[in-house]
Structure 1
Amino acid sequence: MHQQANHFFSSTLPNLAREIYDVCMLLFKLMIPVLIAVKILEELGAIPYISLALEPVMQLVGLPDSMGLVWTTTLLTNIYGGMLIFFQLAPQENLTVAQVTVLSSMLLLAHSLPIELRIVQKAGVRILVALLIRILSALVLGVMLHWSYQYGGWLQQPVELIWQTPPIDDSLISWGISQLKSFAMIILIITALMSLLRFLRWIHIERLMIWLLQPLLKLLGISTQATSLTIIGVTLGLSFGGGLLIREAQGGHISPKDCFSALCLLSLCHSVIEDTLLVMTLGADLSGILWARLAFSFLFVAIMTRWLNHTSDAFQQRWLHNSISTDNKESLNAN
């Protein structure tokens, strides 16, 4: 017992602390430059001009032009930023539950792109491919939901807004404090997650999770080697779990094809519990933001993995996979 305690404090705990530090630093190196760039765009007032390009798109999914600003803000910042704009504009638009569900489903599939695309790229997916998957999937799901609700006459009642935006302090100091709080939360979550993963491996629960998810992953064409990566992303999201996703991919434990398939699933279907509850506060219905989103994501990945089986490794390497730097691999393997 005494020997186990000495091993824990002399080896296990320092190794865990080093892993947590490496993952956090890797994630912050990706996030901080992007956050600063997006903030500069906000300060320059560029986001409303960017949203003009999305106004015609809003008509395709049965939404007012003003909702283009909501989606643009969400694409460049996060769902919280889009929600603030939504609650400022929604009272003047007389939206239906169906319209809010369509918008919310699009927000869930495509948001925080500057950060999340960089994370996916670092994990081995070409950034242009990841961008097209996110944007086009959001549009396709939005169109499908719009026509389904319209022809079925479902959810056509006016939405009831349950929240009004409080006064917003948009000073740089307030923004900086908010980002520091977010970083602190990321550190806490990654610390808890990596400690939990160590414990689960120690008691072999991870094997049970792989066994339970194996039928679904097999149906989607994703190997069991990608199970841990999939669980982390689906539950925590790409931003919080991003460092761990990159570490798994760069560790060389997952083939490029399986990594690509898993990351595509996570791009469309991550942070399922938190984000779903979040957009429900807008007045969205679960039929679109949860069930349709899950069905669309699973179907997309199942079709895509079967298509990948009929393409050559050379084609995938050239057009789909992003090469992972040798330096990153060596630094991770050294730890």
Structure 2
Amino acid sequence: MATIVETHVNLLEKLRDNLEVCIHGKKMEIDLLLTALLAGGHVLIEDVPGTGKTVLIKALAKSIQGQFRRIQCNPDLLPTDVTGVSIYHPKHESFIFRPGPVFSNILLVDEINRATTKTQSSLLEAMEERQITVDGEGYSLPKPFLLLATQNPIDFEGTYSLPEAQLDRFMIKLTLGYPDEKMENKMVASQMTSSPLDEIMPVANIEEIMALQEAARRVHIEERVINYITAITRATRNHPAIYLGASPRATLALVHASQAFAYLSGREYVIPDDVKYLAPYILQHRMIIHNGARLEGTSLSSVMQKIMDQVQTPVR
């Protein structure tokens, strides 16, 4: 009889296989997305158009028997288009709340940087507290709630930069990049007659996903590894090239993501290599580099690498 861990491993393999059907040659990125799913964190995918950002998210949504909603952002989008609105009902002589698309298990926010800052701010409460407030009334969101957003880094016309407070609420930021020649040929062959999305069937339900999340939170993490994580985040605040370092929320995100990544890797304990691998994806988008350092050619990735090299790795 299969153990709970074996059952979860099989389930995660099915989820990974479903995603790899749609996005070829992106195992690392798929694992990062599944890590966020297990850790209950939100994901920002930043890349040029046509690299498969939306396809990857839709593939994950179709793999889970949960509620999926999509918001296509533009400057005309209002906060009530996201959260919902209270409508007066003459017959009952009262206001009735009509929920918006944020009431879902997986919310795809496409081209989030095309929404105005006012509309973007309507997502802050949902992302952090898993609830929204309309007309002074609080409404809890379904569990689990995962916000997956995309944005185009090269199109500046009609876009609004994401504020630091919102970037800090994304657990992971990743890019997909272009496929190599072999994978692009494979992609073309697989989509000659139909889209792989049409063939994807659900392999997990909401209860199973929540069980996976609970199991990931129970993954053991030693005090030395926790100290290693806090040392890394504190180093981002003290580096001379960094104007704004990683927040305490980032520290917690790195802890929970490390637990989730370890469980995804089939382990019930976190190792320092988990932290090393995840740190750039979790911390880098939360950091702001000094203008002077940027003018000198210093990049966030190079600063992050120096920090990882300077902070002592715990050993047995």
Q: Which TM-score band (shorter chain)?
A: under 0.3
TM-score, normalised with respect to structure 1: 0.27
**Greater per-residue helix proportion:** 1
TM-score, normalised with respect to structure 2: 0.28
